[in-house]
Amino acid sequence: MRDDYIEFTVRGAEVLAVGPDAADAFGRYWREERLPFVGLPDPDHNIAQRYRQEVNIFKLGRMPLVIVIDAEGMIRFAHYAASMSDIPGNRVLLDVIDEIQRAS
């Protein structure tokens, strides 16, 4: 998402990444990687549980989950990954955002 972050913001979208690490480790990673979007640590898994993110210890922990939520708070797209590499491309997400905007 970093590579296309401007494409998201031009559309009025905000990117939020939620991770399982504690705040200090998560913040350190965010600074080192110079990620332009918001990162939210979730070491107690509250957010992961709320959105039913799968945890699979045989596949390195939390499976990726990508959600697009519209301005009214409705989930308009959800991708529950089957593996750590199963993440939709940015073009898919940008198309979803474009479709939401066309429908509004």
Q: Which residue has the tokens 């409705």?
A: 74
pLDDT digits (tens, 9 = 90+) for 25-49: 989 999 999 999 999 999 998 988 8
Count of domains in the chain?
A: 1
- Report the pLDDT value the prediction gives residue 60, as an integer from 0 to 100: 66
Question: Could you tell me the residue range of the domain that residue 62 belongs to?
Answer: 5-103
- Report the pLDDT value the prediction gives residue 56, as an integer from 0 to 100: 66
Q: How far is the CA of 40 from the CAs of 1, 49, 56, 70, 104, in angstroms?
A: 15, 15, 21, 19, 28
| Contact predicate 44/37, CB 8 Å | no
The stretches in the chain having pLDDT less than 70 are 56-60
pTM of the model: 0.83
Q: Which residue has the tokens 């198309």?
A: 95
What span, in angstroms and rounded, lies between the C-alpha atoms of 86 and 65? 9
- Report the pLDDT value the prediction gives residue 53, as an integer from 0 to 100: 83
Domain containing residue 75: CATH number: 3.40.30.10
- Report the pLDDT value the prediction gives residue 57, as an integer from 0 to 100: 67
